[in-house]
Amino acid sequence: MRTAIMNLFSQIMWYLNGDDLMNILGMNLSEFMHDAYRISTEIQKTVVAPVAFALLSVFILLEFQKISMKVEGAGGAPTLGFEMIIKAFIKFIICYIVILRIQDILDGILLIAGTLTRRIIESQVDGSLRDLYSRVDSAVSSLSWWEQLVALLVFCIMFLAALVIRVLVQVTIYIRFLELYIFCAMAPIPMGALPSNEFSAMSKGFFKNFAATGLQTCFIALVLVIYPAIFTTILDNFQNGLWGIILGITIYMIALLFSINKTKGWAKMILSAN
């Protein structure tokens, strides 16, 4: 009975800690799913980029129209028109290069987020839950046979709850990667609107949302690294033996569930993304 309880407890903590997910958090798009990365970049270059260049050409024509109207309003000053045209050409060349090399820019943003995530993971203190196993083992050993049976049933229920939380954490990580692949595929379109003062907010919003999605893994890693230490502190406040530990694990699971769901919102809040 005691062995079954301890096996369930070990499995519950393994699900909640997500140690096997730590390596996934620090991966870039090519490492995580190379085929999806290849398909998204291929769609970006062959399907979406031509649309972005067409959009950019429309904004070029509109910009030249504005320049001609300003020159006419200034009495046909040739120097003013030449300066405005040169500035417009420089801006459009920069926008053209951004569209052409947009994937390198996006990979650079994810490289920064991945480096931060790996640094957070490396700062994890090993053995933060090491004393907890012996504490649970001694608490289970002090119970009677009937109490151990009730504890086994409770741990079975908690095992199922931990399994559900683990699936939700993993789905959150996978959805984050899928969003990034979609962002990469459609990235040139908002970049085509970059030279327009009226539509440039679309490009800025894209970069903010992409960076927030990339930064989400940092917050997931923070939750998975910090919460076990908080969990052990919570357990120190409960002196009711095994039942206090069960209560602490329940609080830990609920807090972990809510926090993982809010990681995207935290990332957007830091970058002021909508």
Q: Are 188 and 45 in contact (CB under 8 A)?
A: no
Q: Tally Cβ neighbours within 10 Å of residue 149.
A: 13
Instruction: Give the pLDDT confidence score for residue 241 in this predicted structure.
Output: 73
Q: Are 238 and 252 in contact (CB under 8 A)?
A: no
Instruction: Give the pLDDT confidence score for residue 79 in this predicted structure.
Output: 60
Q: Tokens for 5?
A: 């309880």
Exposure string (b/e) for 239-274, b if CB count within 10 Å is 16 or more? eebbebbbebbeebbeebbebbeebbebbbeeeebe
User: DSSP letter string over 162-201?
Assistant: HHHHHHHHHHHHHHHHHHHHHHHHHTHHHHHTTT-TTTHH
CA distance 186 to 190: 8
Strand boundaries in the chain, DSSP class E: none
The one-digit pLDDT tens for each residue of the chain (274 residues) are 777 878 888 888 888 877 777 778 888 888 888 899 999 999 999 999 898 888 888 888 777 777 667 666 655 555 656 666 777 778 788 888 888 889 999 999 999 988 888 888 887 655 555 667 777 777 777 777 777 788 888 888 888 998 898 889 889 999 999 999 999 999 998 888 777 777 778 888 888 899 999 999 999 988 888 887 777 777 766 666 777 778 888 888 888 888 888 998 888 888 877 6
Instruction: Give the pLDDT confidence score for residue 94 in this predicted structure.
Output: 84
Residue indicated by tokens 């129209």 = 65
Instruction: Give the pLDDT confidence score for residue 82 in this predicted structure.
Output: 62
**Residue 184, CA distances (Å) to 41, 66, 175, 199, 209 in order:** 7, 32, 14, 20, 12
